[in-house]
Amino acid sequence: MTKPINIRKALNSDHDFILSLSPDLANVAKLSWHSDNTVLQMQDKYALEMLNNAPEPNITLIAEQDGTPLGFILASSHKDDISEEMCGTVNLLAVSSSAQKMGVGKLLINSVEQWAKNQSYRLLHLEVFANNSNAQRFYENLGFEPEMLNMIKPLK
């Protein structure tokens, strides 16, 4: 019998676990115009900024099984670029490689959706690296749809 996966609010003591997943988040970027180290530094800086200064209201949740952390999600308020209404945004979501395909990400997204509804938000926003097709499929299977696409051209 599989032990249940529990979702709980993150504690300060969870920050090391959260930061330990930064390399996994950075590795999926695959941006040829940025070095892997530059992407990792950006990811680390962003994770620390969100943990310490995410816009209010915000929530950080941990998925765990038998006391072992499996993944996390951090969500906060966000002003929609089109309607300018306040909505929820998933700032960060990561699941440890050992917990992939266990439904952890879906549980975390579902929990944040409920949080966003409790904030009376109509929309839930997120951004994903363009080369991260696995994450794009995951989000699309949960009902997310593309809205905007940022494009870049390296100048030589």
Q: Can you tell me the distance from the alpha carbon of 72 to that of 66, in angstroms, rounded to the nearest whole number?
A: 15
Per the listing, tokens 């019998």 go with 1
Query: At the topology level of CATH, where does 5-141 sit?
Result: Aminopeptidase (3.40.630)
**Residue-wise pLDDT tens digits, 9-65:** 999 999 999 999 999 888 888 888 999 899 889 989 988 898 888 889 999 999 999
The whole-chain average pLDDT of the chain stands at 93
Q: Where are the domains of the chain?
A: 5-141
- Of 37-51, 56-70, 79-93, 95-109, minimum mean pLDDT range: 37-51
Q: Using CA atoms, how far apart are residues 136 and 143, in angstroms rounded to an integer?
A: 11
CA-CA distance, 126 to 89, in Å (whole number)? 5
Whether pLDDT at 6 is above 70: yes
**Whole-angstrom Cα Rg for the chain:** 16
Report, as an integer, the average pLDDT of 115-143: 95
